[in-house]
């Protein structure tokens, strides 16, 4: 069973609610901007700062998170049900998929391939990818789904800052 259990206080205390499906608006559940710890069982989830799966994002894979870096900031939750096998993403140097490009199939520190802080657009061919502002999976995150094409990172506040990318991997 895939689910996320959210808590209003750190250390898995306070009010708790269990979800097995997407939550477009935590306001409706009385949990807007109040999640401080959580547990994920099964499939990964993405927590968004704004309703309707918008704003800053944070991916949570199976495990327990007693203290959240973004505690008290989440307004929507999305379970990742997409096929995670054979991941592939193409990053481009310029907007609208122009300039130099790189095709990736595994986790990559972009600075090691001279593409760090360079990408301005991308196309996800397969898998679900997490793009990070800094190396070692640090900083802001942007989660991108199969078939998603992002023609200009300026619109999402990620232009020329992506330093690390990784696909979410299937646990099966």
pLDDT of residue 170: 75
* Continuous segment of H or E residues that includes residue 47: strand 45-50
Give the pLDDT confidence of 49-87 residue by residue, as tens digits: 999 999 999 999 999 999 999 999 999 999 999 999 999
Q: For the residues 29-43, what does the mean pLDDT come to?
A: 96
Give the pLDDT confidence of 115-127 residue by residue, as tens digits: 999 999 999 999 9
Q: What is the mean pLDDT of the chain?
A: 96
Give the pLDDT confidence of 88-102 residue by residue, as tens digits: 999 999 999 999 999
135 has a pLDDT exceeding 70: yes
First-to-final CA distance of the chain: 13
166 has a pLDDT exceeding 70: yes
pLDDT of residue 73: 96
Tokens of 69: 């870096």
Give residue 172's pLDDT band: very low, low, confident or very high (50, 70, 90): low
Domains and CATH numbers, the chain: 3-79 (2.60.20.10), 88-167 (2.60.20.10)
DSSP for 102-161 reads EEESS-EEGGGGT-TTT--EEEEEES-EEEEEETTTEEEEEEE-TT-EES-GGGGT-TTT
């Amino acid at each position: 069973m895939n689910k996320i259990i959210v808590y209003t206080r750190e250390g898995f205390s306070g009010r708790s609610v269990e979800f097995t499906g997407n939550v477009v608006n935590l306001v409706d559940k009385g949990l807007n901007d109040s999640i401080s710890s959580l547990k994920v069982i099964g499939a990964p989830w993405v927590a968004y700062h704004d309703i309707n799966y918008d704003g800053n994002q944070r991916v949570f894979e199976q495990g327990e998170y007693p203290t959240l870096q973004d505690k008290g900031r989440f307004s929507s939750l999305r379970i990742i049900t997409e096929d995670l096998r054979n991941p592939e993403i193409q990053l481009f140097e310029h907007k609208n998929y122009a300039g130099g490009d790189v095709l990736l199939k595994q986790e990559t520190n972009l600075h090691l391939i001279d593409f760090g802080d360079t990408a301005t657009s991308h196309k996800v061919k397969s898998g679900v990818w997490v793009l990070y502002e800094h190396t070692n999976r640090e900083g802001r995150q942007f989660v991108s789904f199969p078939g998603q094409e992002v023609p200009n990172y300026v619109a999402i506040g990620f232009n020329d800052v992506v330093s690390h990318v990784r696909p979410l991997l299937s646990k099966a």
